[in-house]
Amino acid sequence: MAYEGILLGMGNPLLDISAVVDDAFLDKYDIKLNNAILAEEKHLSMYDEMSSKYEVEFIAGGATQNSIKVAQWMLQIPGATSYMGCIGKDKYGEEMKKDSTAAGVNVHYYEDEAAPTGTCAVCVVGGERSLIANLSAANCYKSEHLKRPENWALVEKAKYYYIAGFFLTVSPESILLVAEHAAANNKVFMMNLSAPFICEFFKDAQEKVLPYMDYVFGNETEARTFSRVHGWETDNVEEIALKISKLPKASGAHKRITVITQGADPVVVGEDGKVKLFPVILLPKEKLVDTNGAGDAFVGGFLSQMVQEKPIEDCVKAGCYAANVVIQRSGCTYPEKPDF
């Protein structure tokens, strides 16, 4: 089977500015652990404060880009994956390009003339992370870039598509173009709930794309927010996974499968009116570095098996393996070769 360009991701390429902080810092900027938000006016000074006050690491990030890089790492087939998003013409943008290309991903960035490359503050306390994204250039992605022949060729070539829910705040029209192509050509289109605020404040954009989603990923907090926003009156993650899998679909070619992670608790898979639970690899607390990128890595591992048409058990197992590797390191990083 030819794997070149089989998996395409689109999203917000961000440079993670990661540091272990303290509770006082979280309180000062009104930050909750295990959450992801967009930066507001009150957060803008925190990036400099982090750099001056704590030991910061700069790591190429962005949810979709993380997942695509992990899938690429697990596959070990150069050019199996492609990625699009918008960066700035600056040193962070150059770093991002170097990092992703070194990872073996075929990146086609749209480069914005004016806006700086987006950044994401990763505040870690006790191994748990909170994300505050300042999208900047990432917010400037335009569907015109996607429609250029050299970029649309990546869409034509791919058989699997993955887009984090975060991209709904940037270019819903680009998402729909890819989703419609996938449905018309019996390809597999996948998204992530990504964050409670996406389910809550970008519900309409999410609803428009939902019928096209063959796979829906998310974590337990996002699933519960989704349930509440849809008036389902249940907090039961297994029930929610099933309900999401039964929502209407644009094309009958693929049934929808919902995959919900729950930290150290089992992964919930809802399909065909049934729920399966898969245990994760447990990690002693002292080995946990941070959970930044854990969910992204899970998806990346999962996708690496899916594009090889492996059964769902293998996909989940690979997802759990990749997440286990990433939480023992800072940010969404991994050793040279997988041991899966």
Residue 263 lies in a domain: yes
Residue 55 lies in a domain: no
Residue 101 lies in a domain: yes
Instruction: Tell me what the pLDDT averaged over the chain comes to.
Output: 96
Residue type, 195: A
Quickly state the pLDDT bin for 330 (edges 50, 70, 90): confident
Residue 51 lies in a domain: no
Whether 304 has a pLDDT exceeding 70, the answer reads: yes
The pLDDT score that the predictor gives to residue 1 is 64
Residue 54 lies in a domain: no
Whether 137 has a pLDDT exceeding 90, the answer reads: yes
24, 196, 336, 337 from 327: Cα distances, Å = 24, 22, 16, 16
* Bridge partner residues of 88 (DSSP): 112
pLDDT digits 0-9 by tens, 231-252: 999 999 999 999 999 999 998 7
Residue 108 lies in a domain: yes
The pLDDT score that the predictor gives to residue 2 is 85
Residue 266 lies in a domain: yes
Mean pLDDT calculated for residue range 84-104:
94
Structural domain boundaries enclosing 83: 7-13+61-117+136-327
pLDDT digits 0-9 by tens, 187-233: 999 999 999 999 999 999 999 999 999 999 999 999 999 999 999 99
Whether 331 has a pLDDT exceeding 90, the answer reads: no
Task: Give the catalytic positions in this structure.
Answer: 296
* Helix (H) or strand (E) segment spanning residue 226: helix 220-229
* CATH number assigned to the domain comprising residue 222: 3.40.1190.20
Cβ pair 67, 164 in contact under 8 A: yes
Residue 49 lies in a domain: no
Mean pLDDT calculated for residue range 57-80:
95
pLDDT digits 0-9 by tens, 144-168: 999 999 999 999 999 999 999 999 9
Number of structural domains (the chain) is 1
Cβ pair 138, 35 in contact under 8 A: no
Rounded Cα–Cα distance for residues 273 and 271 (Å): 5
Count of other CB atoms within 10 angstroms of residue 150: 8
